[in-house]
Amino acid sequence: MYDGIVQDLIDEFGRLPGIGPKSAQRIAFHILQSPSFDVSRLSTLLGEIRDKVKFCEICGNVSEQERCSICRDPRRNATLICVVEDAKDVAAIERTREFRGLYHVLGGAISPIAGIGPDDLRVTQLMQRLADGTVQEVILATNPNLEGEATATYLSRLLHTLEIRVTRLASGLPVGGDLEYADEVTLGRAFEGRRTL
Amino acid sequence: MYDGIVQDLIDEFGRLPGIGPKSAQRIAFHILQSPSFDVSRLSTLLGEIRDKVKFCEICGNVSEQERCSICRDPRRNATLICVVEDAKDVAAIERTREFRGLYHVLGGAISPIAGIGPDDLRVTQLMQRLADGTVQEVILATNPNLEGEATATYLSRLLHTLEIRVTRLASGLPVGGDLEYADEVTLGRAFEGRRTL
């Protein structure tokens, strides 16, 4: 609909997740017309991101160095590893400030439909990290959905051959949520996991 | 939450309209991890857009040349000018394929609250285009909201000094919409503008 580069830019933004044609148009015009937006900075960052950002050789988290800031931090509890599907999950858990151990990013979850098996995940690397006996507990923090549960079940069986405590994050009602609007599976889990007060 | 450039990129995307922190994170990771996404192309386009894209010297539409493709097209009806607030409105009207005249982009609408008066819009340029008597009708296609209506009223008074037909786009029920869900102002307009069948 537009001439040349404006349409090209709209098309490129439209290829990003969660951005439809209307949003892409709005973004392109914002970039074009808003003097306060630093377009050269965004352009530079995009040019650098794939070259500069690597994945931590230990845990698989995003990092600009060989080892990520969490694996490099001597104050983190090295006896505790939290296994997550994705680097975004590391960020989500870090925001809670509840966890002071280390992470292991699998890079996905087991999904027969998507053709992803254990060999496609960083499972071997996890087993290598556990080999020297430092780690005492592995928290399986894969997503509470079909693929995440399958992955947790698979890993839990694998880890039971080692002398390591294996735990899973609690399922239950979201804090601040409304019981009335909870789905039945979540509500069922909340009953199963009920605690004595 | 992330190290360096990943967080920088998330922050930059978060500055764009309609992109919240979660979306910005999702986009940054997509760019980082999806090999099919051509990041260098987006980076190049961003680097070029403000230099290459100009505004048509006649109508104010976006263009990579001095005059936009619509103003350059000899098949367009030069006796008809459609006045819009924004270049995005030109694209929206072009998509209907209903209009074969020319456009005039005001670059906004009159808004006392935002401190935008007629002098901040391309009103003088419009009057200059109408001076030679070629144009026979001006369609006021500003938005059907407070600012757009005020702008249409202002322009209509100004244009009544000339021998030119001045029209306004019809207000009424959206096609495919449901009468039950129409707001009362729209429904009122639909009654006012009812046609004999």
Mean pLDDT computed over B149-175 = 88
Above 70 in pLDDT, residue A196?
no
Q: Which residue of A has its CA nearest to B67?
A: A3
Q: How confident is the model at residue B197 (pLDDT cuts 50, 70, 90)?
A: low
What local confidence, expressed as pLDDT, does residue A189 receive? 78
Encoding tokens for residue A123? 């499972």
Burial of B48 by CB count in 10 Å (0-12 exposed, 13-18 middle, 19+ buried)?
Answer: middle
What local confidence, expressed as pLDDT, does residue B78 receive? 96
Q: What residues are paired with B103 via a beta bridge? A: B82
Burial of A189 by CB count in 10 Å (0-12 exposed, 13-18 middle, 19+ buried)?
Answer: middle
Q: What residues are paired with B167 via a beta bridge? A: B139
The rounded mean pLDDT for chain B is 89
Q: Does B97 lie at the interface with A, CB-CB under 8 angstroms?
A: no
Q: Does B106 lie at the interface with A, CB-CB under 8 angstroms?
A: no
The C-alpha of B2 sits at a distance from chain A's nearest C-alpha, in angstroms, of 7
Query: Residues of A with CB below 8 A from B63's CB?
Result: 3
Per-residue model confidence as pLDDT tens digits over B2-45: 778 889 999 999 999 999 988 999 999 999 888 888 888 999 99
Which residue has tokens 């008066």? B117
Per-residue model confidence as pLDDT tens digits over B87-141: 988 988 888 888 899 999 999 999 999 999 999 999 999 999 999 999 999 999 9
Above 70 in pLDDT, residue A39?
yes
Are the Cβ atoms of B3 and A46 closer than 8 angstroms? no
Listed range (A14-23, A171-180, B138-147, B151-160) with the worst mean pLDDT: A171-180
Query: Residues of A with CB below 8 A from B27's CB?
Result: 16-19
CA quadruple B94, B98, B104, B110: dihedral sign: negative
Burial of A2 by CB count in 10 Å (0-12 exposed, 13-18 middle, 19+ buried)?
Answer: buried
Q: Which one-letter amino acid corresponds to residue A197? A: L
Percent of chain B with pLDDT over 70: 97
Are the Cβ atoms of A43 and B38 closer than 8 angstroms? no
Query: Residues of A with CB below 8 A from B120's CB?
Result: none
Above 90 in pLDDT, residue A178?
no
CA quadruple A154, A159, A160, A165: dihedral sign: negative
Query: Residues of B with CB below 8 A from A69's CB?
Result: 3
What local confidence, expressed as pLDDT, does residue A197 receive? 61
Mean pLDDT computed over B44-54 = 88
The one-character DSSP state at A169 is P
Residue B25 and residue B88: Cα distance in Å, rounded? 27
pTM, 2 dp: 0.73
CB A104 within 8 A of CB A86: no
CB B130 within 8 A of CB B139: no
Residue A75 and residue A30: Cα distance in Å, rounded? 44
Encoding tokens for residue A96? 């809670």
Encoding tokens for residue B107? 């670059």
User: Diameter of chain B by CA atoms?
Assistant: 67
Per the model's pLDDT, the better-predicted residue between A70 and B94 turns out to be A70
What local confidence, expressed as pLDDT, does residue B75 receive? 96
Residue B28 and residue B103: Cα distance in Å, rounded? 38
The C-alpha of A144 sits at a distance from chain B's nearest C-alpha, in angstroms, of 19
What local confidence, expressed as pLDDT, does residue B196 receive? 62
Residue A58 and residue A104: Cα distance in Å, rounded? 8
The C-alpha of A160 sits at a distance from chain B's nearest C-alpha, in angstroms, of 32
Encoding tokens for residue A160? 């039971």
Residue B137 and residue A18: Cα distance in Å, rounded? 41
Per-residue model confidence as pLDDT tens digits over A110-168: 999 999 999 999 999 999 999 999 999 999 998 888 899 999 999 999 998 888 999 98
Three-state DSSP at B78 gives strand
Above 70 in pLDDT, residue B155?
yes
Q: What residues are paired with A116 via a beta bridge? A: A111
Q: How confident is the model at residue A51 (pLDDT cuts 50, 70, 90)?
A: confident
Tell me, rounded to whole angstroms, the distance of Cα B4 from its chain centroid. 37
CB B61 within 8 A of CB B103: yes
Q: What DSSP letter does each residue of A83-144 carry, written as one string?
A: EESSHHHHHHHHHHT---EEEEE-SS--BTTTTB-GGGTTHHHHHHHHTTS---EEEE---S
For B5, the closest of A17, A19, A53 (CB atoms) is A53
Which residues are CB-neighbours of A92 under 8 A, at least 6 positions away? none
Residue B54 and residue B63: Cα distance in Å, rounded? 5
Are the Cβ atoms of B68 and A3 closer than 8 angstroms? yes
